[in-house]
Structure 1
């Protein structure tokens, strides 16, 4: 039986080490996020790691079971990684109203997922309420995301003009290429590494929003769209899109605007936004918005009254969740590291 070993508090966060389980949670009333890590030595115990799922794991191959599990929860998302060293049969369901995607990181042996062969380039999916029937390979490490299906579909409709739930109907293994699987695997691995290093960044609503949208974009990119001809907007229409986008950005200059915000406000797809910015400004909207957010960070760093302000906190408030990429982009833009801007803030005379 697991027993509580220690409890530490820091600001509005708490860190708990519970025997072979570690948990890191927000103590805010809204429970903005939680993070947990666990090592297991029993397949049945391992099945209980995943919150709000109904699962049963039966060990199929002989030998001492060893598993590792880590999970991050925030807003509409449950992001997790699990590793097992024995073949197990996994049965059960995810939480109601959810949609799950998974991609293997490592496998040794053959696996079967809902009647189909699982290999390293498989992207699997499961809808809440559907029965999972999964015989894992002898060794398996998998990265996965479970999210609110309606939230993902609303995002896809607004930003990509795609009905993802309709496209996924009846599918359990997506017809993805090796490149698509590798892209999703690498992206989710980067997300997990960033959250593992600095889970406290999830305190910031803007960072959670930016990360949620980045994950949604990556998941949608792994789903091959139904082939259809989509007319491109005319030159006049593209100029109008950019004009309206800039008006919106000027009116929200102190906010971390995202591409999804612009798509929702202008009622255009990401593709239309991309064509319009590239044609009119010779710059893609992602780069344009990143530049605005970098300038927002710089203004906040320069305004910092004392050194109690953290670069990571300010970056997170502007939606930057990958700190090393942020620091590199910031230095490329302004010729100095964000820490140097913050350090010099106290020496400037207003």
Structure 2
């Protein structure tokens, strides 16, 4: 079992959300852009020893799905100063929680525009070594399977301040973080602070965060969409496939994504077109052929919707692919 990350530091700005998700390295993520406009993102990662620290921001609403690094525990928190929200699986999150704790669940996040998060990833073995040293016995499977914990506001504020100081150093002085002595200090500071932040008073542990309650239905709808992505699906097709009512389906999709089921289907298809354009051979494919494969029949409406979502025409995406291969 591996207890250490390969050491490296990264700080980069992105205008392509696929490149942004690929830069997460030890994660296996896929992203779909949900809001209209050109993507701008930032990512800062420091990993060494048993610890990975991540700062991530995106200016667009995104759906992010994928695997967490194996043999690790993950702790995420919102860093925005506004009353920003995330949705993780079937729960709407706010500034007062740590999320992503369950190592058996995939990453499934929907964020609003202008979202900033901090993530700490720790080797499972090392985390429990520290909890044993600190004589905290409450961090068992039941604790982590909750996935989200509500934290004492003062403790969480202190932890966020500490993370933001580290992220500032990562962005402005990464060579300092690459020194072995610095890394040792950070591990020995960060893990006890994290564990003490998690140590809960019963009043704060059960947060009563509202559950959206329709997560499984949405997953089934998504699977049906992917299986029939090139077909002219209707709302009736969608709610019939998951054996629910149109009202329940519409409320469920709107709760998660802030849009109707048919709007969400269109956005999934547009994201699929974009990924195909970025990987195809420009000499052997046509935009209309790719669009048709993804279920678009009107090229005029398709081009308009594509530009509204991504801030560029399909031909511009294809041109970037061509220029990148030249």
Q: TM-score range by the shorter chain?
A: 0.5 to 0.7
What are the within-5 Å matches in structure 2 for residues 202-213 of structure 1? 202-213=177-188
1:119 is displaced (CA, Å) by: 1.4
What are the within-5 Å matches in structure 2 for residues 5-20 of structure 1? none
- Aligned 8 A contact 1:36 1:70 in 2: yes
Relative to structure 1, is the Cα distance of residues 199 and 103 closer, same or farther in structure 2, using a 3 angstrom cutoff? same
- Aligned 8 A contact 1:108 1:137 in 2: no
- Aligned 8 A contact 1:104 1:143 in 2: yes
Give the TM-score of the pair, scaled to structure 1. Answer: 0.52
C-alpha distance in 2, partners of 1:97/1:32?
14
Match of 1:47 in 2: 21
Match of 1:123 in 2: 98
Give the TM-score of the pair, scaled to structure 2. Answer: 0.55
What are the within-5 Å matches in structure 2 for residues 264-283 of structure 1? none
1:77 is displaced (CA, Å) by: 0.9
Higher helix residue share: 2
1:177 is displaced (CA, Å) by: 2.7
C-alpha distance in 2, partners of 1:222/1:31?
24
Match of 2:76 in 1: 102
Match of 1:160 in 2: 135
- What SS does the aligned partner of 2:120 have? strand
Equivalent residues, number: 198
C-alpha distance in 2, partners of 1:206/1:110?
37
Relative to structure 1, is the Cα distance of residues 200 and 40 closer, same or farther in structure 2, using a 3 angstrom cutoff? closer
- What SS does the aligned partner of 1:221 have? helix
Where in structure 2 are there 5+ consecutive unaligned residues? Answer: 203-326
Q: Which has the larger radius of gyration?
A: 1
- What SS does the aligned partner of 1:126 have? coil
Match of 2:163 in 1: 188
Match of 2:55 in 1: 81
1:82 is displaced (CA, Å) by: 0.6
1:182 is displaced (CA, Å) by: 1.4
Match of 2:154 in 1: 179
- What SS does the aligned partner of 2:101 have? strand
C-alpha distance in 1, partners of 2:58/2:23?
13
Question: Is 1:137 equivalent to 2:112 in the alignment?
Answer: yes
C-alpha distance in 2, partners of 1:69/1:131?
20
- CA RMSD between the two structures: 2.4
- Aligned 8 A contact 2:45 2:170 in 1: no
Relative to structure 1, is the Cα distance of residues 61 and 109 closer, same or farther in structure 2, using a 3 angstrom cutoff? farther
Offset from partner CA, 1:98-151 (integer Å, 9 cap, x none): 111111111565421121112122211234442121111222001111111111
- What SS does the aligned partner of 1:61 have? coil
C-alpha distance in 1, partners of 2:189/2:57?
24
Match of 1:37 in 2: 11
